[in-house]
Amino acid sequence: MKKKLFISHKQAKHICDKKQYGEATFLESVSLSIRVAWCKLTKIYSKKNNKLTHTVQSAEMNCLNQFEREGIQKKFEQELNKRL
Partner 1 sequence: MTPNHTINPNNWIKLYSDYLFNYTISRVNDREIARDLVSETFLSGLKSMENFRGKASERTWLTSILKRKVIDHYRKINSIKGKAEVRMNYSNSSESEGDWLEERVADSFDKTAEDIMENTELGDAIYECIGKLPEKQAQVFEMKTITGYDTETICNELKITASNLWVQIHRARTALAACLEKNWFN
Nearest to 30 by CA among 5, 11, 10, 2: 5
Binding mask of the shown chain, residues 64 to 83, with x at each position contacting partner 1 by CB under 8 A: xx--xx-xxx-xx--xx--x
Give the angle subtended at the CA of 65 by the CAs of 55 and 78, to the nearest 5°.
130
- Binding range to partner 1, per CB under 8 A, among 1-9, 27-35, 44-52: 44-52
Report if residue 61 touches partner 1, rule: CB under 8 A. yes
- Binding range to partner 1, per CB under 8 A, among 1-9, 16-24, 29-37: 16-24
